[in-house]
Amino acid sequence: MGRLDNKTAVITGGAGGIGRAAAQLFAAEGANVLVVDLDETALAGAVEDAASNRVSYCVADVTQAADNERMFAAAVERYGGVDILLANAGIEGVVAPIVAMDEADFDRVIDVNVKGVWLGLKYGIPRIAERGGGSIVITSSVAGLSGTPNIAPYGASKHAVIGLMRAAARECAAANIRVNTVNPAPVETRMMRSLERGMSPGDPEGARQRIAETIPLGRYAEPLDIAKVMLFLASDDAAFVTGSIYKADGGSNTY
């Protein structure tokens, strides 16, 4: 028996590194999985990587209310309901000091990383409640736990989703819906390659090495490292866990 047998998960940002790893792991543990993202080609690749008839995709923009409503409706139509939401979609934005950043760049990060999560909660909570409860896991970051220069909108967005999580955990407890965040340190994904180039345009590998040296375990996380924490929170093993921040950071934040 799998840890997610007879459950259905909606995973936003499903075409990215963490989303793909979570989709594969959740399906292997018995879940039906709907992966959601903007790029249909990348989504098709994520479904192929999962190598499971339990996994399908839906092209949707998490910043749009209608798309959120549609993606949950698709999960209900295909699989009979929704038990798990992994609100994982997010963007890093540009690397720049606050005074040099364009307003449009700030707005885009907040739109995807905060409004996108809020809309996922708005339309996902009723669907999960219909099933008698379940789990919502929000991807935050170590940047949501401390100040990080030159990526202020990203850091602000990851602080903000912790606030959303805490409010939702209190609101949803009576419906038996648990809500938690996972806060990764750097992960071996496209996002970190982008941030490394932004931090050190002439030497991104140097930036990578310097960042890795700040992590007590001495390396970046692999996407599967993060997906395994998400699996725990999504499963009934975490039946009494809600309103919590789960750091998956290699010891980076020890306070």
Mean pLDDT for the stretch of residues 132-149: 96
Q: How confident is the model at residue 196 (pLDDT cuts 50, 70, 90)?
A: confident
Using CA atoms, how far apart are residues 155 and 148, in angstroms rounded to an integer? 7
Q: Domain boundaries in the chain?
A: 8-184+223-247, 188-220
pLDDT of residue 81: 98
Active site residue 154: yes
The confidence score (pLDDT) of residue 58 equals: 98
pLDDT digits (tens, 9 = 90+) for 56-97: 999 999 999 999 999 999 999 999 999 999 999 999 999 999
Given 79, 154, 220, 246, the catalytic residue: 154
132-151: average pLDDT: 95
pLDDT of residue 83: 98
Average pLDDT value for residue range 12-40? 97
Query: Is the pLDDT assigned to residue 254 strictly greater than 60?
Result: no
Tokens 């020890």 — which residue?
254
Residue 178: its pLDDT value, please?
98
CA 130 to chain centre: 23
Average pLDDT in the 196-214 region? Answer: 89
Contact 155/148 with Cβ under 8 angstroms? Answer: yes
**What is residue 1's predicted lDDT score, i.e. its pLDDT?**
83
C-alpha 169/C-alpha 133 separation (Å) is 12
pLDDT in tens, 102-137: 999 999 999 999 999 999 999 999 999 999 999 999
**What pLDDT is stored for residue 198 in this prediction?**
87
Segment 215-223 shows an average pLDDT of: 92
Residues 220-245 have pLDDT tens digits of: 999 999 999 999 999 999 999 999 99
Share of the chain above pLDDT 70, in %: 99
| Residue 255 confidence (pLDDT) above 70 | no
Q: What is the mean pLDDT of the chain?
A: 95
Q: Name the helix (H) or strand (E) containing 177.
A: strand 177-184
What is the CATH code of the structural domain delimited by 8-184+223-247? 3.40.50.720
- pLDDT value at residue 191: 85
pLDDT at 253 over 80: no
Query: In the structure encoding, which two tokens stand for residue 230, read together?
Result: 């998400």
How far apart CA 169 and CA 136 sit, in angstroms, is 9
pLDDT score for 193: 86
Average pLDDT on 151-165 reads: 97
Q: Which residues does 205 contact at the CB level (< 8 Å), separation at least 6?
A: 196
- Alpha-carbon gap, residue 7 to 32, rounded angstroms: 6
